[in-house]
Structure 1
Amino acid sequence: MRVDKFLKNSRLIKRRTIAKEACEQGRVKINDKIAKPGTEVSVGDILTLEFGTRVIKVEVLDLKEHATKDDAKEMYKAIE
């Protein structure tokens, strides 16, 4: 699954266009490598998101094409 789509489906970022822009600006990393919007995410990857001064680190637990609000929380585990 593409990283921008994962961010939207997991509700870490509200809209896919915002997720795409964050990737293009170098604010999203997968396993400490800067990710482009089309970079593939797999279970077990560590995502690092930079929002201004906040840094969020999560581990990918599940990939779902369509996720409800409750299912979205089960797609990742917060590390930091």
Structure 2
Amino acid sequence: MRLDKFLKVSRIIKRRTVAKDVSEQGRVWINGREAKPSSTVKIGDELAIQFGQKTLTVRIERLGESMRKEDAGSMYTLLKEEIHS
């Protein structure tokens, strides 16, 4: 699955265009490597996403083309949430 689509379906980022923009700005890493919006993600990958002063690190648990809002949280496990000053 494409990175930008995963971020949208899992509701980590609400819109695919925003997910694409964040990835293009170099603010997303897959397993420690900078990722592009078209990068492929798979189960077990660790994503680090930088939102302003906050960095979220998650592990992908499930993939799916579409997911109900209640089930979206089960697509990943939050590993770490860091706030930078």
Q: Shorter-chain-normalised TM-score: which range? A: over 0.9
Matching of residue 12 in structure 1 with residue 12 in structure 2: yes
- The percentage of counterpart residues that share the same residue type is 50
Structure 2: stretches of 5+ with no match in the other structure: 81-85
Larger radius of gyration: 2
Which residue is 1:21 aligned to?
21
Partner of 1:65: 65
Question: Please, what is the CA RMSD of the aligned residues?
Answer: 0.4
Distance 2:66 2:54 in 1: 27
Deviation at 1:76, TM superposition (A): 0.1
Shift of 1:71: 1.3
State the alpha-carbon separation in 2 of the partners of residues 62 and 35 from structure 1.
19
Runs of 4+ residues over 6 Å off in structure 1: none
Residue 18 of structure 1: SS of its match in structure 2? Answer: helix
* Aligned pairs, number: 80
2:30 is matched with which residue?
Answer: 30
Match of 2:3 in 1: 3
